[in-house]
Every structure is written in structure tokens, then in C-alpha cells.
Amino acid sequence: MRDLIKTFKALSDESRLRTLSLLLERECCVCEVMQALDISQSKASRALSALYNAGILKLRKDGRWSLYSIDREGISEHLVYVVEAVAKALEGDPAAVRARERLKEAERVGPGCVKGMRGVEAGCESLGGFTGVRQG
């Protein structure tokens, strides 16, 4: 029961639902989520962390990049149904469609990639320390 509550809490936020919609398309780093959703680094990191902690995402390191994707192999059976329902619900949602289109243009770039976005003045290297460690 606790896992189910954690899942629905993670999905009870628009930014996290929009982030999940992006990750249904492909794996993403924090910078790509920021670009596609036009949100700050901290908001993107919090959204990814909540989805990771709920057991929906997996994290893969590739050099300096922390890449998130749907944990299709390790996800529990009830989460498969929940994620499928979210995917279906967001299929034609105008905001989700626009974000998925922007994701096609999003890039994994070096220093300054987030400069000027929502007032963030950090380079991508500073995002690499985020590990999304599961709690409890």
C-alpha cells in the first residue's frame, strides 16, 4: 500500500506528469527536461527525483551525464498499469504535445546550457552531482 501511495503522490504534480511524458519518449538528462518544459534546474531535478524515488525511473550515468528513463525492466506490475494510464491520458494533451516537440530540439550541452533559463546561471556540470537517491 505504501508503494502505491508514494506513486500517486509522485504523480500528483503537473511538472512530474509532464516530465514522465517526456521520459515515455526517450531517456533524458536534467538539462533536456529543463529545455523541453522551460523549467528551472531545481524544479526539473525535484521532478526526476520524485519519479525515481517512486520506483518509476531508473538512473544511468554516462560520463558527466545523469540520464533518466522509465524503468521498464524493474518497475512493479501495478506501476506498469499506472504509467500506461498516464501515457494514454497525456497522449493528446496540448502542453504535453508541445513539450514532446521541444524535446526533439533539446540538447545535452556543456557549460552555460542553462544560462538564462528561468534565472538559472549554472552550467550542466553543476547538475551532475544530482543522484536522485531513493529514500526509505
The HSE-up count of residue 12 (CA atoms within 13 Å, CB side) is: 8
What's the confidence (pLDDT) of residue 59? 95
Residue 114 contacts residue 120 (beta carbons within 8 Å): yes
Mean pLDDT of 6-26: 93
Which domains, ranges and CATH numbers included, belong to the chain?
Answer: 2-120 (1.10.10.10)
Neighbours of 54 (CB within 10 A): 22
What's the confidence (pLDDT) of residue 36? 94
What's the confidence (pLDDT) of residue 48? 96
> Cell 538564462 sits at which residue?
116
C-alpha cell at 79: 506501476
Q: What is the pLDDT of residues 60-85, one digit of tens each?
A: 998 888 899 999 898 888 889 999 99
Burial class (CB in 10 A: 0-12, 13-18, 19+), 94: exposed
Residue type, 40: S
